[in-house]
Structure 1
Amino acid sequence: MAKPLTRQAISDAVDPLGWRLILGVLVTHVPVPTLAAAVDALGVAVAAGGTGVDEHLRADVHPDRVVLHLRRTDAGWLTPRDVELAAQVTEALAGHGLDTQPGVGGVPPQTLEIAIDALDIALITPFWRAVTGYVDDAAPDGETPGGDLLDPLRRGPAIWFQQMDEPRTQRNRIHLDVDVPPELAGPRVDAALAAGGTLVSDAAAPAFWVLADPEGNEVCICTWQGRD
């Protein structure tokens, strides 16, 4: 079995193409002028992927952009084929005068997660699965220790469970994880601090910074760095 690609190697390969590695997925934004043009751009990307592209490519279509996501759905992590597809799709789109960019119009690529601290993950997971209508992640990416629950159509944030060893009463037990490209982490932290937040911990940076709002509710700004 081939050795898995490191996050650094993946980033080195795709960053110059306008893609970003976020939580085990390659993401790019393709600016377009209309919804019809967005549909056409997606068609170019699908054709560039060829046979088996359905196993790797997902897309969100908007009137001003197409957001493309690459990761083999049953692998749980990026494969060399995903990296190859990023290059093929980028080249094909360029042939039609379209660019792959890490964000359009000030809207960056990012992924939002909800993390729930739990003493008994197996006990509470069925409740959250039922109340959200989410499904179990069939191919966990190894980024988080608890089993993920996912929106079947990926409309909402993933939910994952963090194992606690003892009850926690001094802070909230649900927090947000905001996963961004590495170059956006510092500015995002600075903006949060300027908006009244406090830095709880940067001990794990650049993997994540823990911040708190003025009332002590916590959020983590996360990147892929420091995880290989």
Structure 2
Amino acid sequence: MVRFQMVIDCTDPELLARFWADALHYRLEPAPDGFATWDDYWRSVGVPEDELGIGFDSIVDPAGQGPRIWFQIVPEKKSLKNRLHLDINASGGRSIPLPTRKQRVDDEAERLTKLGATATRVLETEGLDHYAIAMRDPEGNEFDIN
């Protein structure tokens, strides 16, 4: 099996780490054993002081099944459409009646809006058994709820 980490460029790692931890039901990744904070750990391996103090910058799946997600600080803000995005599956799948799936998606969109996301559009086509909501996280990265 191949293990991987997902990396998301951002200007405020802790903001996005907290948002996505709540959105994905992940948890903030604790500092390595023997260190009170990530800054303490990074200091111990020689990272300069001027690169510290950004707070939590990674999240992990508490069940240990999903990938670790690291929020890498970059100086520039997001300017173009994502070439990769997450789909959050909240509907329960096609075996669930469409009205129930729609309600579940709407409920999840409302929950994530309260956490700082913005809904951008409903993804629905008459006659097609599909319903989703396109959203943006607090830094503008696109994702869908379906």
The interval holding the TM-score normalised by the smaller chain is: 0.3 to 0.5
Normalising by structure 2, report the TM-score: 0.37
User: Which structure has the bigger radius of gyration?
Assistant: 1
